[in-house]
A and B are shown apart, each in its own frame.
Chain A
Amino acid sequence: MLEIAIKGSKKYWIWLGALLTVMAVAFAVYIDQFVNGLMITGMSRDVSWGFYIANFTFLVGVAAGGVMVVIPYYLHDYERFHRITILGEFLAVASLIMCLMFIVADLGQPTRMLNVLLYPTPNSMLFWDMCVLNGYLFLNIVIGWKVLEAERNQIQPPTWTKPLIYLSIPFAIGIHTVTAYLYCGLPGRGFWLTAILAPRFLASAFAAGPSFLILLCYIVRKTTKFDPGWEAIQTLSKIVCYALIANVFFFFCEVFVVFYSKIPGHMAHIKYLFFGLHGHGALVPWMWTSMILMFMGIGLLVVPKFRSNETLLPFTCILIFIGTWIDKSLGMISGGFVPNPLHHVTEYAPTFKEVVISLGVLATGLLILTVLFKLATTVKEEVRG
């Protein structure tokens, strides 16, 4: 099946070439980081996780978002998702590979990463995160591949894929729950120390993932002969709408608890993010932008006239994607570290090199996504043709 990937139009190759160029530049910068250490980043003693972990957290969400097509199709026999289920699974694969790359990029001693397997430590949430992320990646590769292969040969997928598909559902919830547990189980980090964190992560994931999937459906429709179906896209947009409302609702629950109880250690972080603290407010415009984008997204999806507008929908999805990215990446990680446990305010901004390395990871993910989508759409074109 992989031979499909090496037969493409000129545009396909230009796109892959562009991605490879970004990857090559980023790799050169990564060598600098590998040799000289994480000093090339904007991270510090006080803000010890930054852009890499922020993007990792967001992309775990995008990966988990794939389950929003798997559940309706496999559990509720929602036939309209039949065509796009594979796209959701392959999006999860590409996102998870980016997640793992961001983790490795963030390690101070990447050559020692196998220590996590050599000395397995069940009391560390990072150990469990590694287990569920790799497990979910493996499941999606196997399921996606087998189901697509069966479609190409016009036979039923092997029966053993069914239990794996059912297993992938709790895994999808699991990857984002455990990722939230990385943060919310830490004493003395008031911003993260809330039981709403995992539900909030899931809600924003189910908004960000499917809205990205809608965008991908538009691209697929434009660049290939395969049509994912307008009705499937419409159902997806309703899922995005509900999830986005849940995300904002959970956020307001948190805001109420924090500001009504008035516990200083919990208030300080949200104050820093939205109003600035002791004269430091680098993230203030970002956070308000995020809020506005998410509210605009809700407005444009709740009203049927806007939601069913084919020209408007991709823009709505872009707003939501950016809004949730700021909310979960920039705000969620920096917000937890500022102020630090001693109530000093040290701000964080990624360096240019850090951003380039991150773009390299994104380019790798997009390359994998392009190839996988190329396979999926070509097979579907063949079958229909």
Chain B
Amino acid sequence: MKKSRRSFLKAAGVSAVAIGAAPAIKAVAVASGGAATNASAAVKSRKTEALSAHRWGMVIDTSKITEEVAEAVVEACRKAHNIPDFNHEPDQEKYPDTRPVDHKQEIKWIWEEHYQHAFPEMEDEFLAEKFRQLPFLVTCNHCKNAPCVQACPTKATFKREDGIVLMDFHRCIGCRFCMAACPFGSRSFNFRDPRPFISEFNPDFPTRSKGVVEKCNLCAERLAKGLQPACVEASEGAIVVGDLEDPESEVRALLNENYAIRRKQELGTEPSVYYVM
């Protein structure tokens, strides 16, 4: 069952590329030079335009994340994945009688935090004020030993061979055990139908129904088409993704040249997201 679903996903990705994505990729590559160089950092498989890796990882250069960049990244992710915005006024005709929102029940895939919340165990009373105010982008760490994968009772959350922790929104029963298990608070639950709060539908990615959990998928659907993740494209070079296990990759080059930390490293979940300080 597991095997067949995964091979189906793979096949679906391949055929999507074969059918119509290839010209689009070229267009994007031409349009954004920066993204294209990043793309070359990751291994491209021979037969398709899909980007692949032995273990996907992300390096965030904290010095390049300004308030504007952070906002652009969050917004790009929201648009790419049809993430509801609870500040969005629902269309009265399409969604009459929408009940008021509870902002505590919002959905977040990647968002801004301050240092003391991104790294709560490293709180330091003498930390310079300028670091306290810096925006840190936090998201799913696609942990090597992911507690959420271990906790899920239906394998709706699973780990792909390339290290990406993915979710099957149609299998999730909404028990939220994964949310309790995640030590990074990276998961969100659809307490309500998210569709009234999506301002601009992206037809390339499914919307979710109420009652399922969701989180960052490292833009697996874009990688399959040879595209860089939406956050990388919007980050003006501050976020790089690539193969952690390839010593020649751009992410490894960044880790070689800079001091980088991971969130809650002491828990042993082996996060794949690094922060260059």
Contacts and interface: CB of A to CB of B under 8 A. Distances in A.
Contacts of A124: 150-153, 177
Interface residues of B, number: 53
Nearest to B138: A342
B106 A341 contact: no
A73 interface: no
B1 A341 contact: no
A41 B174 CA distance: 14
Interface stretch (A111-119, A139-147, A249-257, A375-383): A111-119
B104 A45 contact: yes
Nearest to B185: A341
Nearest to B101: A39
A126 B175 contact: yes
A350 interface: no
B175 A107 contact: yes
A36 B211 contact: no
B167 interface: no
A184 to B, nearest CB: 11
Interface string B122-145: 010000000000000010000000
A341 B182 CA distance: 8
A119 B104 contact: no
B191 interface: yes
B191 A37 contact: yes
A37 to B, nearest CB: 4
A264 B122 CA distance: 10
Contacts of A384: none
Interface stretch (A17-25, A170-178, A185-193, A223-231): A185-193
Interface in A116-130: 116, 118-119, 121, 123-127, 130
A43 B188 CA distance: 12
Interface string A73-110: 00000000000000000000000000000010011111
B102 interface: yes
B178 to A, nearest CB: 9
Instruction: Tell me the dominant secondary structure on chain A's binding face.
Output: loop
A277 to B, nearest CB: 13
Nearest to B118: A342
A343 interface: yes
B197 to A, nearest CB: 12
A45 B171 CA distance: 20
A186 B147 contact: yes
Contacts of A344: 117
Contact of B176 (A36, A108, A110, A341): A108
Interface residues of A, number: 46
Interface in A318-338: 336-337
A214 B185 CA distance: 43
Contacts of B192: 36-39
B177 A342 contact: no
A340 interface: yes
B108 interface: yes
A119 B211 contact: no
A342 B193 contact: no
Contacts of A37: 190-193, 210-211
Nearest to B143: A187
Nearest to B211: A108
Interface in B234-272: 264, 267-269
Given A109-B173, A343-B117, A44 B105 contact: yes
A182 interface: yes
A74 B135 CA distance: 63
A119 B189 contact: no
B276 interface: no
Contacts of A336: 180
A49 interface: yes
B117 A44 contact: no
Interface of B: 1, 99, 102, 104-108, 113, 116-118, 120-121, 123, 138, 147, 150-156, 171-177, 179-185, 188-193, 209-213, 264, 267-269
21 contacts: A36-B193, A36-B210, A37-B191, A39-B210, A43-B105, A44-B102, A46-B104, A48-B189, A106-B175, A107-B174, A108-B210, A108-B212, A108-B213, A109-B174, A110-B173, A123-B150, A124-B177, A187-B264, A188-B182, A342-B113, A342-B184
Sorted nearest first, the 5 A-B pairs with minimum C-beta distance are: A108-B174, A188-B183, A108-B211, A44-B104, A37-B210
Interface of A: 36-39, 41, 43-46, 48-49, 103, 106-110, 112-113, 115-116, 118-119, 121, 123-127, 130, 182-183, 186-189, 264-265, 336-337, 340-344, 346
